[in-house]
Amino acid sequence: MTSLIDPYSRHIDYLRLAVTDRCNLRCVYCMPPGGVPHLHHEDILTYEEMVRFLRISVQAGISKVRLTGGEPLVRKDLDVLVREIADLREDVDISLTTNGTLLADQAEGLAAAGLRRVNVSMDSLDPDTYRRITRTGDLADALAGLEAALEAGLEPVKVNVVVLEHLLEELDAFVDLVRRLPVHVRFIEYMSPCGMFDDSYYVSAEEIKRRLGEIGELTRSALPPVGAGPARYYSLREARGTLGFISPVSSHFCPECNRLRLTADGKMKPCLFSREEDDVREILRGSSSDEPVLKAIRLSLAKKPRDHGGFPESPGRSMSQIGG
């Protein structure tokens, strides 16, 4: 296996792969009420094209693959893709980010196919607030998905919580969750990749940490969960899980970034906030040789910036279109 090194000597071993641009929710910070225009079926990479791209990427040094969307579980037969990725190399770490509402029926099959761990996005534990944020979602479905992931043996199970103002009133509920279940709740500062950052939504991760410290003593976790990434984890007395904080706004983690992204329509993005996109779909469909694909990966990597330099000034793709 070779290695992928960017212009700033960062070792790139992590690929976020969006398998679809579609989602069954309409979260207020992610997309407009009517959603975003869907890509045409022929513009979406097939599973065969994704596996081919991943085979080349894994040979080049990618060892972690996270499946995203849209909502990845709306794409049919996702377990088939997971199994084919797992067959590429035994030690490839396959994970999934999902809103969890469709996970109860799929967790067992995904785990059997080779999925190792899962992040469930759940921005509120109040049913009414959850529905208001997601516009269409049912909190009970997301909680059922969370329980199913634990029962299927996925480890670790993380809960992603975008920090919005309402969260200040719900911290007790999330503390109760980690006391009851062995899950890792991560509070993520609100951000927009489209240059539409709204200060009225923003609450810093440090403010959440301070408020949690008033509920119980937080101790920096000596053994963070697998795939901790940029999160800082803390233990709480008598809790089965942990509490983590991801601060892309107040304390960005660009110096340690190890990621590339591939959108559902086959565009490589060197940075979540970058407007740079390199089309590998046409290469995959136009050549049977691996060399042009590998060359495209390295060219995209060469464009990876030192940091995101603040938010883009002009609107770009929505988070659901990029894959997060």
- pLDDT value, residue 195: 41
In a domain? residue 166: yes
* Confidence grade of residue 144 (pLDDT, cut at 50, 70, 90): very high
Whether 124 is covered by a domain: the verdict is yes
Overall number of domains in the chain: 1
* Residue 197, pLDDT above cutoff 70: no
> In angstroms, rounded to a whole number, what is the distance separating the alpha carbons of residues 85 and 73?
16
Following DSSP, what letter does each residue of 53-82 receive, concatenated? HHHHHHHHT--EEEEESS-GGGSTTHHHHH
Copy the structure tokens of residue 200.
Answer: 């009225």
**9 assigned to some structural domain:** no
At 183 the three-state DSSP class reads coil
Residue 6 domain-assigned (yes or no):
no
pTM of the predicted protein model: 0.91
Q: pLDDT at position 198, please?
A: 55
In a domain, residue 211? The reply is: yes
Reported confidence tier of residue 227, pLDDT bands at 50, 70, 90: low
Residue 298 structural domain:
14-322
Give pLDDT, residue 191.
66
How confident is the model over 129-153, as a mean pLDDT? 97
Distance CA 141, CA 128 (A): 13
Residue 169 DSSP class: G
Lowest mean pLDDT among 119-123, 152-156, 273-277, 312-316: 312-316
Whether omega for the bond prior to residue 70 falls within 30 degrees of 0, making it cis, is yes
Residue 126 within a domain: yes
* CATH of residue 72: 3.20.20.70
Q: Is residue 192 in a domain? A: yes
Structure tokens at 18: 């969006």
In a domain, 8, yes or no: no
Q: Give the chain's mean pLDDT.
A: 88
The span from the CA of 270 to the CA of 157, in Å, is: 27
